[in-house]
Amino acid sequence: MYAQMRGRSLRDYEVAARERLDPAHYDYFAGGAGDEVTVRANEAAFGRLGLVPRVLRGAGKPQTGVTLLGSRAAAPVLVAPTAFHRLAHPEGERATARAAAATETIMIVSMGATVAIEDVAAAAPGAELWFQLYVQPDLAFTERIVRRAEAAGCAALVVTADSPVMGLRERDLRNGFHDLPEHLCCENLRDGARGDRVRPIVMWPELSWEHLEALRGMTQLPIVLKGVTHPADARLAIGHGISAIMVSNHGGRQLDGVPATIDLLPDVVAEVAGAVPVLLDGGVRRGTDVLKALALGAAAVAVGRPVVWGLAADGERGVAGVLGLLRAEVEHALTLCGCASVADLDPSMVRRPC
Ligand SMILES: Cc1cc2nc3c(=O)[nH]c(=O)nc-3n(C[C@H](O)[C@H](O)[C@H](O)COP(=O)(O)O)c2cc1C
Ligand SMILES: O=C(O)C(=O)c1ccccc1
């Protein structure tokens, strides 16, 4: 039905996805914790910021590309790690990774992927993959997963810090959605050869900086810490050898009431003071949102739900549509702001209120 789907904006993909998805699965992807105050805040806060363009700078057609931890990307927009892609489309993470490769986008593959990291990498030669990790209390098991991600060619580990327990998602409780259907599972949690048992993902409230040190000793890969919101934690992360910080409130799915990430960003950027790149996710839906985050000091942003909507709407083509649209919007907005590249953005070009 949507074989020829080409959305004009990311919103079109959400509408198409909602028509296609089982309502309980739509709710799982769209929803958040508690009253979903934070889910709404992430998007709304971008709307309250104005962009103040510069003129007559003769900038020409802008370059949108960036390099992050040694990985090249055509645009400063990454695929955020989201679980369960085969709930959205039968090809699942394979389709997402092919679209990421086709659009030269870094994809952060979720530990909760429904395709094993080896199979994601094999399906999308040339894709720049990073691997998201929930550090498991069984550190030997954690190390085995790290080895698999390394062997599959992942260029960085993204450790999620905002999930000492799972957020309370009332839509899922109402819908009785708490597990994948029988034919799907989190393939990265298979311990050992195919056919072995699949462990549940453990959210671990005892996780501390000490375990991050242990992880640091396990691998040479750069480690990105995802889910930092407090500037003091950004400082601690740098002290613990973290290579990049991702300001994230998990798309409002963990602690409800956390402020919008774009409002938290400036204090984190000030504390980090250029020591490591700062990334951001949450509520990015337009190229102009990307410019606002970069002007306020982010090196790049990531998108979660929009990728899932593209996948549900039209598989690989839908994800490529979403990522291509965002890149085109970034390029257009940079031109309108008189910027030759993202390096020309600075905080003087963002004002509140809009
Ligand atoms: C359906 C869904 C699943 C997610 N799964 C994960 C996950 O497995 N690991 C993780 O670190 N974050 C996960 N997240 C959070 C995203 O990485 C990201 O922080 C968030 O989606 C960004 O907000 P956005 O959806 O508004 O772009 C998930 C988010 C969604 C919507
Ligand atoms: O849904 C999520 O937000 C999430 O992070 C997750 C990750 C793995 C399994 C289930 C949920």
Nearest of 85, 147, 77 to residue 120 by alpha carbon? 85
Cα torsion 308, 84, 19, 101: sign: positive
Position 6 scores a pLDDT of 75
The model's pTM is 0.98
Q: Which atom of ligand 1 is nearest to the CA of 283?
A: 26
Q: Which of 201, 203, 248, 255 to mutate to test the pocket of ligand 2 (most atoms within 8 A of CB)?
A: 201
253 lines ligand 2 (CB under 6 A): yes
For ligand 2, atom 8, which residue shows the shortest CA distance?
112
Give yes or no for residue 3 having a pLDDT over 60.
Answer: no
Find out whether 73 and 300 touch, Cβ atoms under 8 Å: yes
Count CB-CB contacts under 10 A for residue 67.
11
Q: How far is the CA of 33 from the centre of ligand 1 (A)?
A: 12
Cross-strand bridge partners of residue 160: 226
- Summarize the confidence of residues 187-216 as an average pLDDT: 90
Asked about 230 being catalytic, the answer comes back as no
Cα separation, 21 vs 9, in Å, equals: 19
Position 343 scores a pLDDT of 98
Cα separation, 276 vs 272, in Å, equals: 7
Position 191 scores a pLDDT of 86
Q: How far is the CA of 83 from the centre of ligand 2 (A)?
A: 5
15-45: per-residue pLDDT in tens?
999 999 999 999 999 999 999 999 999 999 9
What ipTM was reported for this prediction?
A: 0.99
Q: Which atom of ligand 1 is nearest to the CA of 282?
A: 23
Give yes or no for residue 104 having a pLDDT over 60.
Answer: yes
Mean pLDDT score of the chain: 96
Cα separation, 138 vs 131, in Å, equals: 18
185 lines ligand 2 (CB under 6 A): no
Confidence of residue 4 (pLDDT cuts 50, 70, 90): low
Q: How far is the CA of 339 from the centre of ligand 1 (A)?
A: 30
132 lines ligand 1 (CB under 6 A): yes
134 lines ligand 1 (CB under 6 A): no
Q: How far is the CA of 338 from the centre of ligand 1 (A)?
A: 33
Domains of the chain from N-terminus onward: 3-340 (3.20.20.70)
Confidence of residue 75 (pLDDT cuts 50, 70, 90): very high
In sequence order, the 6+-apart residues with CB closer than 8 A to the CB of 53 are: 336, 337, 338, 349
Q: Which atom of ligand 1 is nearest to the CA of 28?
A: 1
The residue from 25, 85, 89, 250 that is catalytic is 250
Give yes or no for residue 284 having a pLDDT over 80.
Answer: yes
Give yes or no for residue 329 having a pLDDT over 70.
Answer: yes
Q: How far is the CA of 310 from the centre of ligand 2 (A)?
A: 19
Q: Which of 110, 136, 169 to mutate to test the pocket of ligand 2 (most atoms within 8 A of CB)?
A: 110
Confidence of residue 194 (pLDDT cuts 50, 70, 90): low
Position 1 scores a pLDDT of 45
Position 193 scores a pLDDT of 57
pLDDT more than 90, % of the chain: 94
